[in-house]
Amino acid sequence: MRSKTALPYDAIFAYVYAVFRINLCLMAAGLPLLLAFAFTGSQVAAWPFFVALATLCGPAVTAAFAAFEHVSDEADRVGRVFWSAYWAGFVRSLAVSALAAAAVILLGVDLEVAAGTPARGVIPMLATLIAVVVVVTTALLAAGRRLCAAGVLACAYLCIRRWYLSVANLAVLGVLLAAIVGKPALGLAVLPGPALYVVWANTRHIVAPLTTTDTGLG
């Protein structure tokens, strides 16, 4: 048995190349978002539009999570696995991401309105709810669950139970978002694959009870 310290360079290269291929697949699947981002002058001011358009990224994230499962043993198949998972879970993932986008837009608009009024004391609560929506959506996509009340509640419970992993995911996604806004070329061309790999690694531990047992949640 080879020790991890003696991992050959070709295995490391195959691993990195597999993540790079997944990143290319993510860019292809998110092309409408990339084009809109490139031709919009102020992305921050138009954030509701981009959140709504990010709905299309739901199936791509699900496909990336599925492909990451094969990075270590079938690195040459990650592209085929990605697109197979993309189309197989397209409707389910799109429904999850669409509802999440609607919730984030609603909460974000409320937060903007509250910021300029005496009701700004609710800002921390609204920001927390947005964070919960993000981590629960990620858990639903990773677990491959249909959009139903039982599945949402189960994922929400697990995300809160393992809050430290949820916080880590939020930090990674926050860095990715900041990189995309600040350095679009770097943020869009290089970082999504590696960042989502870290999120997937954390999220699979969060949703392990759902994927290892038959919960009847779809």
pLDDT tens per residue, range 130-143: 999 999 999 999 98
Residue 6 — left, alpha, or beta (φ > 0 → left; ψ -120 to 50 → alpha)? alpha
pLDDT for 212 equals 62
Q: Judge whether residue 214 has pLDDT over 90.
A: no
User: Please, are residues 59 and 90 in contact by the beta-carbon 8 Å criterion?
Assistant: yes
Span of 50-64, 68-82, 152-166 with lowest mean pLDDT: 68-82
CB atoms within 10 A of CB 153: 12
- Tell me which range, 9-23, 82-96, 184-198, is most confidently predicted by mean pLDDT: 82-96
Span of 31-45, 152-166, 169-183 with lowest mean pLDDT: 31-45
pLDDT for 216 equals 47
Q: Judge whether residue 52 has pLDDT over 90.
A: yes
Residue 144 — left, alpha, or beta (φ > 0 → left; ψ -120 to 50 → alpha)? left
Name the more confident of 132 and 150.
132
In this prediction, residues 155-183 reach a mean pLDDT of 92
pLDDT for 3 equals 47
pTM score, whole prediction: 0.86
Could you report the per-residue pLDDT of 77-123, keeping only the tens digit for each? Answer: 888 999 999 999 999 999 999 999 999 999 999 999 998 788 888 99
Nearest-angstrom CA–CA distance, 155 and 92 = 16
User: Please, are residues 105 and 48 in contact by the beta-carbon 8 Å criterion?
Assistant: yes
From the centroid of its chain, how far is CA 59? 10
Name the more confident of 39 and 87.
87
Nearest-angstrom CA–CA distance, 132 and 90 = 23
